[in-house]
Amino acid sequence: MLLEVEDLHVAYGAIRALQGITFHIEEGEIVTLIGANGAGKSTTLRTISGLLRPIAGDIRFQGQSIIRTPPERIVKMGISQVPEGRQIFSKLTVMENLEMGAYTRRDKAGIAAAMEMVFASFPRLQERRRQLGGTLSGGEQQMLAMGRGLMSQPKLLLLDEPSMGLAPILVDEIFEIIRRINAQGTSILLVEQNAAMALSVAHRGYVLETGRIVLEGTATELLENPQVRRAYLGG
């Protein structure tokens, strides 16, 4: 088991954002969390990354509890997050943004190899490697954010709303890249408002409503579930 989330509770003051969620990710899987705004999807990712502390429950990565582990240590262990809204460094070049993704590493040869891998996955970033991040298109900024996340060579990549604000043709391209990243051996936890696209690439999924998991199953099962179709697929 790569990641196990068990009976996780997270609160913002008096507001319970997560109310006892339990799920897991096997090595090599794409698992998606779907649900409406405010369901707790991004809170889940931020808690796994160590940016939020749970009030109860446990998160185990490769069998080791990480709920009291600092975020930079979690990155070193093999978990990297691509945040919602991309959050690239607009005044740094593409190369400098990518180098920031390797800030926990000291192995120059490994960093160079990771850079080559990112450029192979995102050829447009290589073409624009000397451009400032803020001058890239929205799709290119999303590629840069994903490339930066891959620079630590994670075992598990957390993707938070990768299609947000992108034109449909770019959404297709981003999701094809997600498939390729997974095929190269990186497990992925995907949070995505576009449930149809998320389930088209995922192996399994979980449906969150107001901080609780209300449905789970294979991607095919969820795509065919009448409740999911009505609520999230417009059918």
pLDDT in tens, 209-226: 999 999 999 999 999 999
Q: Which residue is listed with tokens 């995505």?
A: 192
Beta-sheet pairing, 56-61 with 3-12: antiparallel
Domains and CATH numbers, the chain: 1-78+156-162+186-235 (3.40.50.300)
Please name every residue paired with 204 in a beta bridge, in sequence order, or none if there are none: 31, 218
Residue 158 has φ and ψ, to the nearest 5°, of: -100, 120
pLDDT band with cut points at 50, 70 and 90 for residue 94: very high
Report the chain's mean pLDDT, rounded to a whole number: 93
- Please check the confidence at residue 173 and state whether its pLDDT lies above 90: no
- Please check the confidence at residue 157 and state whether its pLDDT lies above 70: yes
Structure confidence at residue 121 (pLDDT): 87
Please choose, from the candidates 141, 83, 122, 79, the residue with its C-alpha nearest in 3D space to the C-alpha of residue 104: 79
As a whole number, mean pLDDT of residues 98-107 equals 86
Structure confidence at residue 206 (pLDDT): 98
Given a contact cutoff of 8 angstroms between Cβ atoms, the answer to whether 148 and 80 are in contact is no
- Please check the confidence at residue 3 and state whether its pLDDT lies above 80: yes
CA-to-CA separations, 112 to 90, 129, 134, 147, 181, in angstroms, rounded? 22, 14, 24, 13, 18
Structure confidence at residue 235 (pLDDT): 62
